[in-house]
Amino acid sequence: MVLCGCHVLYDALNFLARRVSNRFWQPAIPPDRSAHRKINDSLYMLYDFASSNGAYEDPTVDIIFFHGLQVLDYHNAYWKTWTSKAQADNGADQIDICWPEKWLGPDLGDARIFSVTYDSVLLRGRSVGKQDVLAIGDNFVADIILNASGIGPKVGQNCPVILVGHSLGGIMIKRFISSARRRKAELEEGQSRREVERFLNNVKGTFFYSTPHHGANLASWATKIPDANSEVLDLLLVLSKQTEGLNEAFRCWRQEANVGSYNICEALPTCKLGLNVGMVVEEASSRCDGDGFSKVQADHFTVCKPPSKVDNRYEALRGFIEEYAGVDETRRPDAASMLQSEAGAQSPFRARAATMSTQKRPTFKRTRKT
């Protein structure tokens, strides 16, 4: 069974490698991809609110997206992971939408949205698949917290922070938090230490799309592939000591810091390149110390690609951010329509959430210290 699965995965990966240059396998480039601003080697800005005179102001929330495992190349994963097929304005065509940029940012108003890039390649190459996980976590601390410049207020210094991860990206969020806590303990009292401490204090929520908190069976098959990247695969193995250690440290920190957490899991098997890979992340692995959980009718790759704003994959995240980051609806561009009227009518978002079925509606059990 294991050997059979390994051969299936191996064939799929090699077939993908042969076809990677074919446009059929490449998502269309968003027309405004040039608007994605590279901040440094680890961080891109996808969306930044701006006042009419271009002056920097404090955002209401900083949201950071973490992509997952990539097969051959990771450089475009920071936007491709979060790109959906959505209906065009003409109602007939489908277009590629980087939804955190086009939907989430404008919907939240004065928000900044970032996306990280890191070497998460499965198959080692001449220049990829060679960086160790601890170094990646340290790079995140340096590039996200300490060295992100030219963007106005530094990330997470003057506003709440929400961290969003898909698959391996969720585990890398935990690696990032662990590295930040260690860096804070190592630094002497000063500006850098205060910036790391302030960032950690401002993290209010973590949102996971099909993250294998307790490993994935496919990872054990992938380790048998020649030139497989053992650094990242070790994080994805069932009963991985490294990941279980991150889980426990994250659980303790989350409880101490009163940080919210929500998990969305795939409900459909993944079929890639004509091969039925099966369930990549099982429900049991996707559940981990969260305040809420839901399953969606999507496979492992589409679980983080909502086709519309009314899809639960989008609604759940937006509602989570509004709840845990305390987004002030009066600062949103559609504030007039979102606020309750003098007669006490519900805002469209709250009314829509109230009419969603019990199975689909995201629920958040906010924990508070007593």
**CATH number for the domain harbouring residue 275:** 3.40.50.1820
Is residue 152, in this structure, part of any structural domain at all?
yes
Q: What is the mean pLDDT of residues 111-122?
A: 91
Is residue 315, in this structure, part of any structural domain at all?
yes
Residue 22 has pLDDT above 70, yes or no: no
Nearest to 251 by CA among 281, 288, 221: 288
More confident: 332 or 114: 114
SS (H, E, C) the chain: CHHHHHHHHHHHHHHHHHHCCCHHHCCCCCCCHHHCEECCCCEEEEEECCCCCCCCCCCCEEEEEECCCECCCCCCHHHHCCEEEEECCCCCCEEEEEHHHHHHHHHHCCEEEEEECCCCECECCCCCCCCCHHHHHHHHHHHHHHCCCCCCCCCCCCCCEEEEEECHHHHHHHHHHHHHHHHHHHCCCCHHHHHHHHHHHHEEEEEEECCCCCCCHHHHHHCCCCCECHHHHHHHCCCCHHHHHHHHHHHHHHHHHCCEEEEEEECCCEEECCEEEECCCCHHHHCCCCCEEEEECCCCCCCCCCCCCCCHHHHHHHHHHHHHCCCCHHHCCCHHHHCCCCCCCCCHHHHHHHHCCCCCCCCCCCCCCC
Mean pLDDT of the chain: 79
**Residue 351 binned pLDDT confidence (cut-offs 50, 70, 90):** very low
Is residue 123, in this structure, part of any structural domain at all?
yes
Residue 140 sits at the vertex; the CA angle it makes with 250 and 46, to the nearest 5 degrees, is 105
**Residue 252 binned pLDDT confidence (cut-offs 50, 70, 90):** very high
- Quote the pLDDT of residue 92: 64
For residue range 145-166, what is the model confidence (pLDDT) as tens digits? 999 988 889 999 999 999 999 9
Most confident of 134-138, 301-305, 328-332, 344-348: 301-305
**Overall number of domains in the chain:** 1
Is residue 215, in this structure, part of any structural domain at all?
yes
Cα–Cα distances in angstroms (integers) from residue 317 to residues 65, 260, 266, 296, in the given order: 12, 12, 15, 13
- Quote the pLDDT of residue 332: 44
Q: What is the mean pLDDT of residues 126-145?
A: 83
Is residue 368, in this structure, part of any structural domain at all?
no
- Quote the pLDDT of residue 141: 97
Residue 344 has pLDDT above 70, yes or no: no
Is residue 310, in this structure, part of any structural domain at all?
yes
Is residue 361, in this structure, part of any structural domain at all?
no
Q: By residue range, what is the domain housing residue 117?
A: 2-355
Cα–Cα distances in angstroms (integers) from residue 127 to residues 73, 92, 119, in the given order: 10, 42, 10
Token pair, residue 248, equals 């426990």
**CA–CA separation, 296 and 273 (whole Å):** 22
- Quote the pLDDT of residue 159: 95
Query: What pTM, to 2 d.p., does this model score?
Result: 0.82
Q: What is the mean pLDDT of residues 298-314?
A: 95
Is residue 300, in this structure, part of any structural domain at all?
yes
